[in-house]
Amino acid sequence: QVQLVESGGGLVQAGGSLRLSCAASERTLRSRAMGWFRRTPGKAREFVAAITGSGSSTYYVNSVKGRFTISRDNAKNTVYLQMNSLKPEDTAVYHCAASWRGNIGAETDFDSWGQGTQVTVSS
């Protein structure tokens, strides 16, 4: 498994922006698809965005399309989530995850998880 450490969370007003980072311990990160998920108390974990190992394809949940952008720098073993036009409903703990495969398949393909970073959006 890959060790993942998220950073960049914080408190922001609605309409503001944050950039989350996920640093990975593995130098072969380019072989793995990466994803961002979020969890709020009392709710199931929600898929937010994913990117293939090569970075050529990205996927988003409908609620963040046009506002969030996932990207990766394989040379730095880091994945990013740029979040713009934040809304109070984006408040959650955001987790980075690594898949065992390069393409994006099922959520169960993600087998390494970070501890998460809190994002709080005030109205």
pLDDT in tens, 18-47: 999 999 987 777 889 999 999 998 899 999
Q: How high is the pLDDT of residue 112?
A: 93
Over residues 41-55, the mean pLDDT reads 94
One-letter amino acid of 31: S
Q: How high is the pLDDT of residue 22?
A: 97
Three-class SS of residue 77?
Answer: coil
The band of 62, judged by pLDDT with boundaries at 50, 70 and 90, is very high
Structure tokens at 75: 């040379």
Cα angle 99-65-113, degrees, rounded to a multiple of 5 = 25
Residue appearing with tokens 């390494």: 112
Q: How high is the pLDDT of residue 30?
A: 81
Structure tokens at 105: 């398949």
> Tens digit of pLDDT for each residue in 95-113?
999 999 888 888 889 999 9
Q: How high is the pLDDT of residue 88?
A: 97
Give the integer Cα–Cα distance in Å for 17 and 101: 30
